[in-house]
């Protein structure tokens, strides 16, 4: 079994790298038996699902052609769980995904906002700030990369990793998105658990390939 997992596509947001994403969905994702779209797939903080689907027909078509798709909801698309599968009849939309690979390794995918204490506290302001930023992105070239390299953000990512390991250490492969910082770490001190973040399609154009009996592989800067 071959799994391809990615997250934080942010379809509909000004800074989503739609061209690379479309190419990935047409050329790479179909090579997998199972595709995991790990949250913030459509950016429902920016628009409603119906209008985002009609504005992104090629991307939606590419997703609908994939064999088996799991859409794990994130903070930007949590409403999707209540919607009928508009994109693909057989798409599974849920909050968490647990899969057992043919080699018996157990994998969990959660978007990861459950670990985001700041978002929990300042949800309203985070959402409003994001919406304002999206409007200004059309005229300003605001670079999130600087913020993601800041000491404050590095701490947020470290906390996310600690909490993931604390909560899900009974799984062989722990996967999430949300922070937009991709990594694929093997934790030998915890019996070889893999801790993976699938990154995003805003800054890193990243995804992860998982195949039976092989080490997970992280691909970044896909274009």
| CB of 40 or CB of 116, closer to Mn ion | 40
| CB of 5 or CB of 193, closer to Mn ion | 5
- C-beta of residue 216 within 8 angstroms of C-beta of residue 173: yes
Q: Which stretch binds Mn ion (CB under 5 A): 6-14, 44-52, 142-150, 152-160?
A: 6-14
| CB of 37 or CB of 184, closer to Mn ion | 37
- 74 vs 196: CA distance, rounded Å: 16
Q: How far is the CB of 43 from Mn ion (least distance, A)?
A: 8
Spatial CA neighbour of 62 closest among 9, 107, 2, 1:
9
Q: How far is the CB of 6 from Mn ion (least distance, A)?
A: 12
Q: Binding residue for Mn ion (CB under 5 A) from 12, 25, 40, 56?
A: 40
Retrieve residue 144's tokens: 């999130």
| CB of 40 or CB of 203, closer to Mn ion | 40
Q: Does 8 bind Mn ion (CB under 5 A)?
A: yes
Q: Which residues bind Mn ion (CB under 5 A)?
A: 8, 40
């Amino acid at each position: 079994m071959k799994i391809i997992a990615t997250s934080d596509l942010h379809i509909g947001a000004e800074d989503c790298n739609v061209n690379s994403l479309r190419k990935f969905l047409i050329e790479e994702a179909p090579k997998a038996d199972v595709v995991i779209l790990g949250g913030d797939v459509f950016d429902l903080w920016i628009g409603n699902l119906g209008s985002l689907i009609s504005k992104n027909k090629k991307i939606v078509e590419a997703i609908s052609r994939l064999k088996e798709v799991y859409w794990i909801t994130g903070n930007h698309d949590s409403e999707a769980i209540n919607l009928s599968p508009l994109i693909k009849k057989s798409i599974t939309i849920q909050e968490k995904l647990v899969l057992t690979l043919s080699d018996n390794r157990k994998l969990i995918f959660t978007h990861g906002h459950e670990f985001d204490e700041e978002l929990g506290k300042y949800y309203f302001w985070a959402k409003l700030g994001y919406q304002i930023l999206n409007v200004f992105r059309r005229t300003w070239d605001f670079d999130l990369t600087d913020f993601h390299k800041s000491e404050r953000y590095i701490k947020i990512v470290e906390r996310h990793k600690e909490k993931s390991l604390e909560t899900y250490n009974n799984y062989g492969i722990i996967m999430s998105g949300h922070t937009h910082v991709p990594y694929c770490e093997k934790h030998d001190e915890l019996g070889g658990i893999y801790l993976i973040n699938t990154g995003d399609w805003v800054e890193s154009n990243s995804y992860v390939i998982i195949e039976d009996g092989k080490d997970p592989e992280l691909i970044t800067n896909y274009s």
